[in-house]
Amino acid sequence: MTRLSSAFSKPHAALVTFITAGDGDTAANLDALVAGGADVIELGMPFTDPMADGPGIQEANIRSLGAGTTTADIFAIAAAFRARHPDTPLVLMGYANPMTIRGGEWFASECNKAGVDGVICVDIPPEEDAELGPVLRVAGIDLIRLATPTTDKARLPAVLDGASGFLYYVSVAGITGLQQAAQTSIDEAVARLKSYTDLPVAVGFGVRTPEQAASIAQVADGVVVGSALVELVARHGSNAAGALQDYVASLKHAIVAARKA
């Protein structure tokens, strides 16, 4: 059993949390996510031209890049995290350019050495899987794909082909952090996706409150929260760890209680 599969085999939905590498005190913030109860952590690779991220994460990218964060820094952060937290899954999330500019083999090797469990690349579609997919699979790194409200039954098999770890359902046809899908549409989408795959289905985009997280946790295998956490880092700067831990703990409590109810 891998770290990711273990995270999704608990009696409650997995809480998947996202922050941007190099924004604030990343090591302390990652530790706070774990302490608060995060089951999976996504670490964002800052990029100049993100296509899926709303203003909050865009601003985090700018802060991180402005501080001089490099890809080497991100792998150092990941390796240090793995040394401190041997059991918590870590997923790198970002865009093709930083992942492929030195070649997919290099990126996969660095992921392996740093103890990264999975990769989400927003702008490499399934048809271009050869750019990164084969080398990640050889290295034992899960390639996590995205499904959206516009992913129909004709498209879904291509999305699932070669996917592993979990399926990330983007619950709104838009960018992160600005809107929340109606729960009825999430219920229907998760049921549809589960009829096509045995992969865990995690739902994200627009999840902000414990109540929203609990509702999603009743039907999905995972709940992804990102923009709300990144905004806490923006608000508290290098002292964000305490606020992050408290907020994540409130989400985790709601998610665990949802299944019990």
Q: How far, in Å, are 78, 87, 111, 136, 179 from residue 71 at the CA level?
A: 11, 23, 11, 17, 30
Instruction: Give yes or no for a contact between 100 and 118, defined as CB atoms under 8 angstroms apart.
Output: no
Strands annotated E in the chain? 14-20, 40-44, 90-94, 118-121, 142-143, 146-147, 167-170, 201-204, 222-225
42 flagged as catalytic = yes
List the catalytic residue out of 25, 31, 49, 53.
53
Which of 67, 84, 258 minimizes the C-alpha distance to 59? 67
List the catalytic residue out of 23, 25, 39, 42.
42
Which of 230, 212, 208, 213 minimizes the C-alpha distance to 54? 230
Instruction: Give yes or no for a contact between 40 and 225, defined as CB atoms under 8 angstroms apart.
Output: no
Residue 196, φ and ψ in degrees, nearest 5: -110, -20
CA–CA gap between residue 10 and residue 4 (Å, rounded): 11
CA–CA gap between residue 201 and residue 219 (Å, rounded): 9
Which of 103, 98, 91, 113 minimizes the C-alpha distance to 42? 91
Q: How far, in Å, are 123, 153, 155 from residue 127 at the CA level?
A: 11, 16, 11
59 flagged as catalytic = no
Which of the residues are catalytic? Answer: 42, 53
